[in-house]
Structure 1
Amino acid sequence: MAQYTVLLVDDEKEIIDLLEIYLKNEGFRLLRAANGIEALRLLEKEHVDLIGLDIMMPHMDGIEACMKIHENRNMPLIMLSAKSQDMDKILGLSTGADDYMSKPFNPLELIARIKSQLRRYTRLNVPQPSKEHEIEVDELTINTSTHEVKVDGREVKLTPREFAILELLARHRGHVWSIEKIYEAVWKEAYFDADNTVMVHILKIREKIEEQPRKPKFIKTVWGVGYKVE
């Protein structure tokens, strides 16, 4: 697991000393600040993954510090306060805190909440792969860049011609393509009436992507007209 840095902001040194033992045992790196001003200065020069912030502090209290931190930073923040009234919790959470713990608290519970917040923020901020080259039809995914086809996560191997037909139909979802138009678009040559090449390829594609090829879900036959993907 990557080492995360936690900044604890509290003017009670004894509390930070105690929490440091638990945090280091869990593999965290700890930074300290005695008030909001010190915390903001540290944030200018240190990478911080999560902040534990006391509310009642001299010079700059936790509420003001929380608002300033979130002006240009996105990180989980847990309020730590001797105030346990509902309105105090609401105030802390409404200023941008992700969680609120009333003092005195069990250090192990704080560690658990720190881990929970870091998991949530890490998951939310994982870059999502671009779907620019993907065509999705329910459980069917066609990647036009890698020429991969998957059905419900299972990879399906298609020939280049089969892939081209499936891509053509899926890209123009809902549009009915005649056998002649499919042939000319994929083979790039004139179609002959006696040629059943397209029909054979459609049958093979269905065998690979359909759960029940005789009752196709993806490639539908429009009798007397052609084929379409719905």
Structure 2
Amino acid sequence: MDPREWTEGKSVDATRILVVDDEERIRRLVRMYLERSGFLVEEAADGVQALEMALSNPYALIILDLMLPKMDGRDVCAQIRQQSDTPIIMLTAAGDEVQRIHGFELGADDYVVKPFSPRELVMRVKALLKRSGEPEHAKPELQQVLTFPDLQIHIDARRVEVVGREISLTPKEFDLLVYMAQRPDKVFSREELLRDVWNYQFYGDQRTVDTHIKRLREKLGHASDKVSQYIVTVWGVGYKFEVAS
């Protein structure tokens, strides 16, 4: 069973979202737009409260500000990821690229830059939930276990083994790996990956793709340099999954 479908014996409420921000004005604005779209919203104003709520309730998604009192958003994200793969969208300050990259490394699935469009945020929420709940790669006509030299990808179980050793990937890293591995040797542009893996047709920073690819290579490389080389950069175009014959 997908960990998102069960938390401490409770089924995940597919409509319930946790919004974490120390500014009440932002929480109210985000809540208003999410509720208009049919979501149930709960709020937290600091990192300690957010972590307690996130680990004791089966949320469908968490919107998490980076800069929080009592506990930094990055620390909250890291601790959530130790126990849950609930999708996380981080809110970051404009131009703070280093913070965004660090957020991805800790397991965030996406980020939105402040000041942001509430409509864009809702669109990203819907896209991430759609991808997490109904992954394109889980269609029955596609293989459910992908096997390559030193690499096995168990799609239904959302498990990756490199040289027989299981490695931990975030939900989006897993989705990205599966999407490319199911189509070996096909070159994907960043725009295609944003559209098909993130479900972003109009929004989305291409650096999101680059950061996830970088982190995915690092995780695979820690277990096997050979496997990390399966993900190939095609300069000026994008990326492909290639297994040398």
Paired with 2:34 and 2:135, the residues of 1 have a C-alpha distance of 23
Structure 1 match to 2:131: 120
SS for the counterpart of 1:58 is coil
Structure 2 length as normaliser, TM-score?
0.49
Equivalent in the alignment of 1:75:
86
State the SS of the aligned residue for 2:19. Answer: strand
Stretches of structure 1 that go unaligned for 5 or more consecutive residues are 130-230
Counterpart of 2:144? none
Query: 1:105 aligns to what SS in structure 2?
Result: coil
Distance 1:27 1:74 in 2: 23
Indicate conservation of the 8 Å contact 2:14/2:59, yes or no: no
Paired residues for 1:34-73 under 5 Å = 34-73=45-84
Identity of aligned residues (%): 39
Residues 55, 80 of structure 2: 8 Å contact kept: no
**Counterpart for residue 106 of structure 1:** 117
Letter in 1 for 2:82: E
Deviations 1:90-146 (CA, angstroms, capped at 9, x unpaired): 1111110010111000000000000000011102499887xxxxxxxxxxxxxxxxx
Letter in 2 for 1:67: A
Q: Is the 8 A contact 2:89 2:109 kept in 1?
A: yes
Residues 48-106 of structure 1: CA distance to partner in whole angstroms, max 9, x if unpaired?
Answer: 01000001111101100000001010111001022423222211111100101110000
Pair 12,115 (structure 1): closer, same or farther in 2 beyond 3 Å = same
Gaps of 5+ in 2: 1-12, 141-245
Taking the aligned partners of 1:126 and 1:8, their CA distance within structure 2 comes to 29
Q: Which has the higher contact order (CA 8 A, sep 6+)?
A: 2
Q: Look up the SS of the partner of 2:134 in the other structure.
A: helix
Which whole-Å CA distance do the structure 2 matches of 1:6 and 1:64 have between them? 19
Instruction: State the secondary structure of the residue aligned to 1:88.
Output: helix
Give the CA RMSD over aligned residues. Answer: 2.4
Output the CA distance in 1 between the equivalents of 2:58 and 2:104.
Answer: 23
Paired residues for 1:182-201 under 5 Å? none
Paired residues in the alignment total: 130
Scaled by the length of structure 1, the TM-score of the pair is 0.52
CA contact (8 A) 1:75 1:121 kept: no
Asked which structure has the greater CA Rg, the reply is 1
State whether residues 89 and 100 of structure 1, in contact with CA within 8 Å, keep that contact through their aligned partners in structure 2: yes
User: Does the CA contact (< 8 Å) of 1:40 and 1:69 recur in 2?
Assistant: yes
Q: Does structure 2 retain, via aligned residues, the 8 Å contact 1:3–1:29?
A: no
CA distance in 1 between counterparts of 2:136 and 2:19 reads 23
* Cα distance change, pair 125–73 in 1 and its aligned pair in 2 (3 A): farther
